[in-house]
Chains A and B, each alone.
Chain A
Amino acid sequence: MFAVKQPTTKVLPLYQEFHPRWYRPRVSVYWWLGQWQYLKFILREISSVFVAVFVVITLLQLRALRAGPEAYARFQHWLQSPIALAINGISLFFVLFHTITWFNLAPRAMAVRFRGKRLPEILIAAPNYVVWALVSAGVTWLVLR
């Protein structure tokens, strides 16, 4: 048995008898690195940045379209640059992460009840994916037609 006792220091001005001095641990700025669930949470939240980045790209593309075929071609060319591809590659990862977490968490916020019992989460999440597939197919069809 090795209970390591620290030497007790007598000179601690802070404690006054009968007035307990609570120890308040500080939350580190890097708290979200400490635990996988927290990291996952932060990544989920960060995904919004990539959503915004893509919206900006979309807006720029629209501006290029408005500015005429040459401007549009120039923009298309920029999209092929390694830097643009890198950004968009990362964005795709995050955006998919957003989609999946969003759909999976939806049931938690909905609590659809059937005969008094909460429906199992999978039953509520599944339709989201179906809609997602349909919408994606529709957009692709419109654009490629």
Chain B
Amino acid sequence: MDSENEITQERDPEQTRKDTLFDAPPMAEQERMVEAILFASADPVTVRELNDRLPHGCDAAEALVYLRKRYEGRGVSVVKVGDAWAIRTAGDLGFLMQKETVEVRKLSRAAIETLAIIAYHQPVTRAEIEEIRGVTVSRGTIDLLIEMEWIRFGRRRMTPGRPVTFVVTQNFLDHFGLESARDLPGIKELRAAGLLENRLPPGAIPGPAVQDDDDDEVIDGQSELFED
């Protein structure tokens, strides 16, 4: 950061004045600004939003690199949530926060499993969820997860009936402290074991999902999400 300031100071005053009018503030200042914006917001802020709010010419992504480093090991940390950033208290200090704890709704087993299936298989249709669980998914379960803003509708499948798909949200990632769906626990192993494939049943295995014939696309969706 200091080097930045030095560069500024080396310039002649006329030049400097012009710069402050038309150029971006020094990186140290940009870092402060990003810090202020992230601190002020309860929800993650995207790099794009940051750049929109910072003075013209700022580079929020670069400022974030410095800021993240600055907060390493502190009581709060700068975390990535999807394509957005947030400040969250360090996980090891949860015990201090009983006062702040909000009663997390006790989710039913069906809801938890449905959520996990959506997270690991997204984008996934209702029929596919039902095939994996072997039971119909009640409307209430999906509604609850949508209401909690943990899942949302994804793109429709381009298959007969154009079924809707479900994907997890930024709120989901934020709630479980995940940078992206790629960071779901054990997802690499599951993928390697072929357990995230929606294998076509060889015959007619009873289950709600058998009629669904868009399995190819599911595989597309997954590989799309996880290829790197």
A, B assembled together:
no
